[in-house]
């Protein structure tokens, strides 16, 4: 059963592939079974600390060939993205939200 967030995210095969790869990276980084992760899982609910988040972001950057500037927030991850000449801070709470931002950064890099 997919969550509403997952259904909204699953617009195309590439999006689903990104979501699944982000889940794999997070599961590996936190040494958790991937089955424990859902689209609505929050990093803080998994016990991720700031060092875990930095390592996960590094692995995401390496896998997708993107640059992400992170600023650990009080309760969730903030990502600074430079897309189309604009700069914004995006609060990320769930795995699906992280995957959406990754996909948008990949698309911006490739000019899609």
45 DSSP 8-state letter: G
Strands of 3-112, DSSP E:
69-72, 77-83, 86-92
The predicted pLDDT at position 12 comes to: 62
The predicted pLDDT at position 79 comes to: 65
Spatial neighbors of 27 by CB under 8 A, at least 6 apart, are 33, 34, 36, 37
Distance (Å, whole) CA 56 – CA 25: 7
The predicted pLDDT at position 8 comes to: 42
Q: What are the extents of the domains in the chain?
A: 4-110
Spatial neighbors of 106 by CB under 8 A, at least 6 apart, are 18, 64, 65, 66
Task: Give the CA radius of gyration of the chain.
Answer: 13
pTM exceeding the 0.75 threshold for the entire prediction: yes
Distance (Å, whole) CA 10 – CA 6: 6
Matching residue, tokens 């600074």: 80
Domain 4-110, CATH: 1.10.1200.10
Matching residue, tokens 């992280």: 98
Question: What is the pLDDT tens value at each position of the chain, 112 positions in all?
Answer: 344 444 444 456 678 999 999 999 999 999 999 999 999 999 889 998 888 988 998 999 999 998 877 766 655 566 665 555 556 666 778 999 999 888 888 888 887 5
């Amino acid at each position: 059963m997919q969550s509403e967030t997952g259904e909204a995210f699953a617009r195309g095969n590439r999006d689903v592939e990104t979501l699944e790869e982000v889940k794999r990276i997070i599961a590996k980084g936190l040494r958790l079974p991937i089955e424990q992760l859902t689209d609505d899982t929050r990093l803080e609910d998994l016990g991720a600390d700031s060092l875990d988040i930095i390592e996960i972001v590094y692995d995401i950057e390496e896998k997708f060939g993107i640059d992400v500037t992170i600023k650990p927030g009080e309760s969730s991850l903030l990502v600074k993205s430079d897309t189309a000449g604009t700069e914004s801070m995006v609060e990320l709470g769930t795995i699906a939200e992280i995957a959406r931002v990754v996909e948008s950064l990949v698309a911006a890099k490739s000019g899609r």
